[in-house]
Amino acid sequence: MKDDVTSREERIENLKGMGCSRKRVEDARFTQGKGNYVDDVKLDGMLFGDFVRSPYAHARIKNIETAAALEVPGVLAVLTAADLEPLGLHWMPTLAGDKQMVLADGKVLFQGQEVAFVVAEDRYAAADGIEAVEVEYEELEVLVDPFKALASDVVLREDTVDETGKPTDGAHGPRKHPNHIFTWEAGDKGPTFEVIDAAEVVAEETMYYHRTHPCPLETCGCVASMDKVNGKLTLWGTFQAPHAIRTIVSLISGLEEHNIRVISPDIGGGFGNKVGAYPGYVCSVVASIVTGKPVKWIEDRMDNLMTTAFARDYWMKGRISATKEGKITGLHCHVTADHGGFDACADPTKFPAGFMNICTGSYDIPTAFLEVDGVYTNKAPGGVSYRCSFRVTEAVYFIERMIEVLAIKLNMDAAELRRINFIRKEQFPYTAALGWEYDSGDYHTAWDKALKTVDYDGLRAEQAQRVEDFKAGKTRKLMGIGLSFFTEIVGAGPVKNCDILGLGMFDSCEIRIHPTGSAIARLGTISQGQGHATTFAQILASEIGLPADSITIEEGDTDTAPYGLGTYGSRSTPVAGAATAMAGRKIRAKAQMIAAYLLEVHDDDVEFDVDRFVVKGAPERFKTMKEIAFASYNQAIPGIEPGLEAVSYYDPPNMTYPFGAYVCVMDIDVDTGVTDIRRFYALDDCGTRINPMVIEGQVHGGLTEALAVALGQEIAYDDMGNVKTGTLMDFFLPTAWEVPNYETDFTVTPSPHHPIGAKGVGESPHVGGVPCFSNAVQDAFRAFGNTHTNMPHDHWRIWKTANELGLHG
Site for other proteins in 276-335 (CB under 8 A): 300-302
DSSP string, 680-749: EEEEEE-BS-S-HHHHHHHHHHHHHHHHHHHHT----B-TT--BS--STTTS----TTT---EEEEE---
Nearer to other proteins, 534 or 774 (CB): 774
Nearer to other proteins, 302 or 459 (CB): 302
Beta bridge partners of 61: 137
Site for other proteins in 121-160 (CB under 8 A): 123-124, 126-128, 131
Beta bridge partners of 675: 668
Select from 260-268, 685-693, 729-737, 754-762 the region that touches other proteins (CB under 8 A).
729-737
Over the range 404-442, which residues count as b (16 or more CB within 10 Å of their CB) and which as e? bbbbbbbebebbebbbebbbeeeebebebbbebebbbbb
Nearer to other proteins, 229 or 736 (CB): 736
**Minimum CB separation from other proteins for residue 65, in Å?**
19
With contact defined as beta carbons under 8 Å apart, do 513 and 553 qualify?
no
Nearer to other proteins, 620 or 737 (CB): 737
Among 696, 730, 743, 804, indicate the residue that binds other proteins (CB under 8 A).
730
Question: CA-to-CA distance for 692 and 689, rounded, in angstroms?
Answer: 6
Interface pattern 63-92 for other proteins (x via CB under 8 A): ------------------------------
Nearer to other proteins, 735 or 741 (CB): 735
Q: Is 32 a catalytic residue?
A: no
Number of residues that bind other proteins (CB under 8 A): 31
CA 701, distance to chain mean position in Å, is 13
Burial class (CB in 10 A: 0-12, 13-18, 19+), 155: middle
Backbone φ, ψ for residue 370 (5° rounding): -125, 135
Q: Is 763 a catalytic residue?
A: yes
Nearer to other proteins, 188 or 730 (CB): 730
In the DSSP assignment, the letter for residue 488 is -
**Minimum CB separation from other proteins for residue 162, in Å?**
42
Q: State yes or no: residue 724 binds other proteins (CB under 8 A).
A: yes
Question: CA-to-CA distance for 752 and 759, rounded, in angstroms?
Answer: 10
**Minimum CB separation from other proteins for residue 737, in Å?**
4
Interface pattern 649-678 for other proteins (x via CB under 8 A): ----------------------xxxx----
Select from 435-443, 450-458, 677-685, 731-739 the region that touches other proteins (CB under 8 A).
731-739
The one catalytic residue in 22, 24, 175, 387 is 387
Q: Is 222 a catalytic residue?
A: no
The one catalytic residue in 763, 772, 778, 782 is 763
Q: Is 65 a catalytic residue?
A: no
**Which of 657, 499, 530, 497 minimizes the C-alpha distance to 274?**
530
**Minimum CB separation from other proteins for residue 443, in Å?**
35
Interface pattern 736-755 for other proteins (x via CB under 8 A): -xx-----------------
With contact defined as beta carbons under 8 Å apart, do 687 and 757 qualify?
yes
- Compute the Cα dihedral for 692, 696, 702, 706 and give only its sign: positive
**Minimum CB separation from other proteins for residue 359, in Å?**
31
Q: State yes or no: residue 805 binds other proteins (CB under 8 A).
A: no
Site for other proteins in 689-718 (CB under 8 A): 712, 716
**Minimum CB separation from other proteins for residue 538, in Å?**
36
Q: Angle at which helices 392-410 and 414-421 pack, to 10 degrees?
A: 110
Nearer to other proteins, 124 or 147 (CB): 124
With contact defined as beta carbons under 8 Å apart, do 353 and 97 qualify?
no
Q: State yes or no: residue 808 binds other proteins (CB under 8 A).
A: yes
Please state, as a whole number, how many other Cβ atoms lie within 10 Å of the Cβ of residue 719.
Answer: 10
With contact defined as beta carbons under 8 Å apart, do 626 and 3 qualify?
no
The one catalytic residue in 215, 283, 333, 388 is 388
**Minimum CB separation from other proteins for residue 671, in Å?**
5
With contact defined as beta carbons under 8 Å apart, do 400 and 775 qualify?
yes
Nearer to other proteins, 435 or 734 (CB): 734
Q: What is the chain's percent helix, strand, coil content, to nearest 5? A: 30, 25, 40
Extended strands (E) in 105-151: 107-108, 114-120, 134-139
**Minimum CB separation from other proteins for residue 78, in Å?**
17
Site for other proteins in 361-420 (CB under 8 A): none
Binding stretches for other proteins (CB under 8 A):
123-124, 126-128, 131, 300-302, 671-674, 712, 716, 724-725, 729-730, 732, 734-735, 737-738, 794-796, 799-800, 803, 808
Where in the sequence numbering do the catalytic residues fall?
240, 387-388, 763
